[in-house]
Structure 1
Amino acid sequence: MTTTSGSSSDVCDEAYVLDAAAFFASYQLYLTKNVYTVKEVIQEVKDSESLKNLQLALSAGRVEILEPGGAHRERINRLAEELNILSKLSKADLELLALASDLTERCGRVVVISDDSAVRRVATRIGAATLTIKYWRTRTRQK
């Protein structure tokens, strides 16, 4: 995992991985630490209000932009192919999921915040919990 902005710790209790829907809802303003995303998601945030709130969180150090390791990209691509949903995932989705995969090795709990059902499906398969914006509901994989 490469740090693009800020610095992540090697081990954390809980990490939140946000996709664009979370930034549209300004969810990052409600979380105080261990909030991560990828540059591809940042590039999707274009409306002025969401962009203003995102820039505020970035400048305050409340959101870190990270780059996942290559092995995690490969893992996510394989898993999405196995689930037959690779075509439903954008490059930003794949990068976000690779980051979540990377963080599952370093953090006790990883929560992916997204309204995208394909993203949530892959996230639960890698052991991450998911939270939807629309319904504010957390899901974890059933063992």
Structure 2
Amino acid sequence: MVSTSIRRAAAKKLRADTTPHERMLWRVLKDLPMDGSHFRRQAPIGPYVVDFFCPAKRLIIELDGGHHNEDDTAKRDIDRQLWFEREGYRAIRFWNSEIASDLMAVLERIYIELYGSREAETQPLKHRRS
């Protein structure tokens, strides 16, 4: 397993080198009505660094570019997804093209993952440290 300091350094480098799609989603995630919680970007979780993470809901958001269609990358994505699920996280994935073409639909899906439905009222989210 990679040490914590190495994962943190990798996350810091990724935060400095964000993609245009990550920057676009990050700007709008900060404006979601989330009383009591927040998203982190390029957060280390276990052996991985995830694009976005809401600790209160254990929700991971990953953005995928075209290279995620390649067999090796797709296999690593599946292994990664299974690891998250075994550890009690929920991970949702979006293609970069979804961010660029229909950001409101992406935000609606994230809201539903956080609160259960489009019509749900926001509730204070409590971050539980593990």
Larger Rg: 2
Under a length normalisation based on structure 1, what TM-score does the superposition of the two structures give? 0.31
